[in-house]
Structure 1
Amino acid sequence: MSNPSENGARPRRVAAALFDLDGVLVDSRRPIAQCINHALEREGLAPEPEAALHGFIGPPLRDCFAALLAARGRSEDRVASCIGHYRERYREVAPTETPAFPGIAACLEALAPRLPLAVATSKPEAFARPILESLGLARHFRAIVGPPLRETHAEDKTRTVARALAAFAPAAPGTPVAMIGDRHFDVRAGAAHALLTIGVTWGIGDEAELREAGADLLVASPFALRELLLGGSGEPGGAP
């Protein structure tokens, strides 16, 4: 696509922007897949090919292990144990083995002085913040919001977005706040709060998933995202 793909008219410059973490700011596919397999092996179960686990990135971890255990005919009673094994390993490796996507650092450097930014992620804040701090990106955000560490139930992404929005002053009428994500969960959570939903196609979800979820706009690169949020043309093929 040569310009941001639109389901509606191009908006004016936005008032603020919420970012999902995994698949938007950072490429967490490898460490997450490895930690899921670590948990399965600790439970005496066979690991999965890493690529087969990428679809589990985005929704709450409890849903991931419930599905993997069900596919093996195992009880959901083992979900909490799997989560414990996963987090034990993930806490160690995530800050050093999770890279930012190419172009994200430059995108945030350009946006942060001109636009309030925050993170709204399904990853527990206790894990999200160290990753962004390790990459030198945390300083760009007014808030980094994720669910608390708990195993009994997962926080809905719509609730996480609501808490992240509290970091911003009320937007002027007609000036949208953007929700930027790579999965249908992000798009639907943003839409629930009447946000401008922007799907990025460099993450886990593909263009078809984002369109089906009703994303207002799609962008193919961090440069295109930067241009769009600042009111430019958003040519994804341009130089950062």
Structure 2
Amino acid sequence: MPYSAILFDLDGTLTDPKLGITGCIQYALSELGYKPPDADELHWCIGPPLKDSFSQLLKTLDDAVIEQAISLYRRRFATIGLFENFLYPQIPEILKTIRFAGYKTFVATSKPYIYATQVIEYFGLSLLFDGVYGSELDGSRSIKGDLIHHILLIEKLLPSTVVMVGDRSHDIIGAKRHHIASIGVTYGYGTEEELKAHGADLIAHSPSDISRLIISNSK
């Protein structure tokens, strides 16, 4: 069955959020009395749920400590970090191409919905998506598989007609959980090895590859 709906991860797929995310993690760790790693050592935190990243960074499973770190992170992110972000080249153009070809498009991000919608609006992309989906501030639906399940239900999408596009393993894992196709992008923060190891069906090395792969594989 041809594809009809495309789910796009946000961080590392549509935008490069390195400056904002790493800066906010460094701020949170500093406020907690830790010496934060350099920004280049925090690339692995871009994409996965914040709770998981802080648990590893702080070497703890203590929810209270992790929630304190997330609260500090959001204190800076909500006003500064959110906008320390850049669109990857050609993103508006490839989204227009995909929509012009008749596909529905959705954002599917582990980032809280309240922030994801602000990012999409900030870059003037709102009209290029049929919906923006993210996690809740309490952490629910931050696991990509849970989020995809939610989108499939709300939008009444058949798994066989959906493609997930993302740059990290959890995007591919979430797609596999619901038997939907996946495109791993290598220009973000995951490697081709990571994406292939978790079963990405196709690999895009640039944003323009995404529209080409989707349209050519729907014929």
SS for the counterpart of 1:44 is coil
Q: Say whether residues 1:208 and 2:193 are aligned partners.
A: yes
Distance in 1, Cα, partners of 2:207 & 2:48: 23
From the CA coordinates, give the structure whose radius of gyration is larger: 1
TM-score by length of 2: 0.91
Is 1:222 equivalent to 2:207 in the alignment? yes
TM-score (norm 1): 0.84
Greater relative contact order (Cα < 8 A, sep 6+): 1
Q: How does 1:91-102 map to 2 (within 5 A)?
A: 91-102=78-89
Cα distance in 2, alignment partners of residues 207 and 13 from structure 1:
25
Question: Gaps (5+ residues) in structure 2?
Answer: none
1:160 aligns with 2:160: no
| Counterpart position of 1:187 | 172
Equivalenced residues, count: 217
- After TM superposition, give the deviation of residue 118 of structure 1 in Å: 0.5
In structure 1, the residue corresponding to 2:203 is in which secondary structure? strand
Deviations 1:177-228 (A, max 9, x none): 1011111100010011111111011110000000100111101111111112
Contact 2:8/2:14 (CA < 8 Å) preserved in 1?
Answer: yes
Query: Where does residue 47 of structure 1 map in the other structure?
Result: 36
Between Structure 1 and Structure 2, the one with more strand by share is: 2
**Matched residue, 1:145:** 133
Distance 1:93 1:106 in 2: 27
In 1: Cα distance, 2:81 partner to 2:14 partner: 14
- Give the direction of change, closer, same or farther, for the CA distance of 1:75–1:196 in structure 2 (3 Å limit): closer
Structure 1 residues 75 and 166, CA gap change in structure 2 (3 angstroms): closer
Q: Take 1:211 and 1:74, find their aligned partners in 2: how far apart are those partners?
A: 30
Q: Which structure shows the higher helix fraction?
A: 2
Q: Which runs of 5+ in 1 are unaligned?
A: 1-11, 234-240
1:1-240 to 2 correspondence within 5 Å? 13-70=2-59, 77-113=64-100, 114-150=102-138, 155-166=142-153, 168-171=155-158, 176-231=161-216
Deviation at 1:140, TM superposition (A): 1.2
Aligned-residue offset at 1:85 = 0.7
What secondary structure sits across from 2:79 in the alignment?
helix
What is the deviation of 1:79? 1.1
| Identity among equivalent pairs (%) | 35
Q: Is the 8 A contact 2:8 2:165 kept in 1?
A: yes
